[in-house]
Structure 1
């Protein structure tokens, strides 16, 4: 009797399941149709977003990454809708919670990678620099060769390739020398205290503005910057096209040579380091060459007398040691 009862209960359970499946067949069919529609239309969605984003995002890597994320999110949305149609709301909530926990764990584990990736995406959208631009960020100075999602490759002017994490360029100030295509050069020179700084500034200003590569000639400035040990410091500021021809080093070389030549032509001295001996605490006292030699001779006599006195003092000690 117990076996018949168990069999009867099993039949009732199977029957209830079958009835439940029969009742759910329309929803299951609808869920399959929803999944099919989302799968087919995901390609259309990707193409639509590609046309939309292509206008603002020039980087192929960033564009493909965003399109892949959009497509995955679209398909996940279709799966969640299908699960909800078949009455698996609890399963949907569990999947969402699990995905959140897994995403949080992955974020902590790959924090540095994720930060570089996000920074690369924003750099691709904002476009503060492009391939071929000359940039400077801290100690990084060179030409941009490639921009990836995780790093940017910069070639220094010494020929080395610098692999720079994107977060470094995103967090810090970046100087882009290509955006304005102009750069200011500063050349420093010292002139003798015996020469007139105003005259030196005038002749340097005229000579600099005669150079072919100098632009914005009304902005060329020559000014006295301070007093050095042996000279008055003048600084020359002028503008030239950068990057371009001639290059930075050629421009600086030509400017320095021009300044030296024009100062020599106008009898303005670029002095060597000078040392002045002053034997008076308040200044103003000078000594002739004869006086200097006399004082040096006296100092030698004093030193010789001190040496003789030391030798005289040491002789009795030597005799006493011999007597013992």
Structure 2
């Protein structure tokens, strides 16, 4: 009904403004306007049905905000179709109207580009919902490099959002920042990865198999570990001063529980290594020198003579 009233009023106003007096043309205009109104009503019903079927009541697409946004976007599209039909009915070329609207849009866009980017970013956040208030996030521009934003989300607005950093400093962030960034939602992590490199001394090469098996057993028995994600413990390389063992496992735990579990595992791995008769490697350098005069390397002998002179 609203679309029909709008269409009829628009047709009457345009007929009056254009001074159309030919009764046949007036009848033609109102006939086409009536068809446009009916088409608008029909499209409105179709839009409502599509939105109701698309929004299933689960997740962000089931939220009241998402339903509101989808309905408003549909209303704007239907209004554009009806206006175009009415303009065509009264003899105003649609291309001319679009050209005029295009110039107006360009001027508006140049004048408020930043505000428009923030508004579009806010609409995208409302529909996609990559985060919600109370969740911890890290946003990196381009997906790499230092974080552009990190902290706890306090508010998600249409133009900007509020985030309290991990250092407890509150920040208001333009929504366009999130549109150009890769956002990691720490609060929605289902698994956290334990990954450590254990470096043993070269003299402990015979003890490596026992240490590897012991670490596997520790990880398999750890609380919260997810065996379906895989537990891998292997000797992976000869490093400059150590024999490197890499251990990886995934835990279905919260952040604080995971940190406690990691601490306990590191302590038990340390005990296991020493119980096996091995020890951790430290960065060392081995230098082989040819004996100099009197069995002392020549370079050391020269240094000693310089020190005694």
Report TM bin, short chain: 0.5 to 0.7
**Which residue of 2 is the match for residue 99 of structure 1?**
101
Unaligned ranges ≥5, structure 2:
1-17
- 2:59 corresponds to 1:55: no
Distance 1:286 1:231, change over 3 A: farther
CA contact under 8 A between 1:143 and 1:156: conserved in structure 2? Answer: yes
Give the distance between the partners of 2:267 and 2:228, measured in 1 at CA: 19
1:258 Cα deviation after fit: 1.6
The answer to which of 132-141 and 213-222 deviates more is 132-141
1:157 Cα deviation after fit: 5.2
CA contact under 8 A between 2:232 and 2:249: conserved in structure 1? Answer: yes
1:53 Cα deviation after fit: 4.0
1:210 Cα deviation after fit: 2.5
1:260 Cα deviation after fit: 0.7
Distance 1:94 1:300, change over 3 A: closer
- 2:76 corresponds to 1:75: no
Give the distance between the partners of 1:228 and 1:299, measured in 2 at CA: 32
CA contact under 8 A between 2:44 and 2:78: conserved in structure 1? Answer: no
- 2:259 corresponds to 1:249: yes
SS at match of 2:74: helix
Distance 1:50 1:153, change over 3 A: farther
Matching of residues 1-324 of structure 1 within 5 Å:
20=21, 22=23, 24-27=25-28, 47-48=48-49, 50-55=51-56, 57-58=61-62, 60-85=64-89, 88-90=90-92, 92-107=94-109, 127=128, 129-131=130-132, 132=135, 137-138=143-144, 139-140=146-147, 163=173, 165-169=177-181, 181-195=190-204, 196=206, 197-216=208-227, 219-242=230-253, 244=254, 247-280=257-290, 300-301=304-305
Give the distance between the partners of 1:272 and 1:300, measured in 2 at CA: 28
Give the distance between the partners of 2:55 and 2:252, measured in 1 at CA: 32
SS at match of 2:21: helix
**Which residue of 2 is the match for residue 7 of structure 1?**
none
**Which residue of 2 is the match for residue 319 of structure 1?**
none
SS at match of 1:194: helix
Give the distance between the partners of 1:44 and 1:215, measured in 2 at CA: 49
CA contact under 8 A between 1:31 and 1:83: conserved in structure 2? Answer: no
Give the distance between the partners of 1:98 and 1:18, measured in 2 at CA: 22
Distance 1:150 1:251, change over 3 A: farther
Summarize deviations over 1:68-111 as a string: whole Å, max 9, x none: 232233234333333444xx313544322211332344455555
CA contact under 8 A between 2:40 and 2:79: conserved in structure 1? Answer: yes
1:255 Cα deviation after fit: 2.0
Distance 1:190 1:79, change over 3 A: closer
Unaligned ranges ≥5, structure 1:
1-16, 306-324
Give the distance between the partners of 1:161 and 1:226, measured in 2 at CA: 45
Distance 1:80 1:304, change over 3 A: closer
1:264 Cα deviation after fit: 1.8
Number of residues of Structure 1 aligned to a counterpart in Structure 2:
276
CA contact under 8 A between 2:229 and 2:250: conserved in structure 1? Answer: no
Distance 1:53 1:300, change over 3 A: closer
1:240 Cα deviation after fit: 1.0
TM-score (norm 1): 0.62
Give the distance between the partners of 1:239 and 1:113, measured in 2 at CA: 43
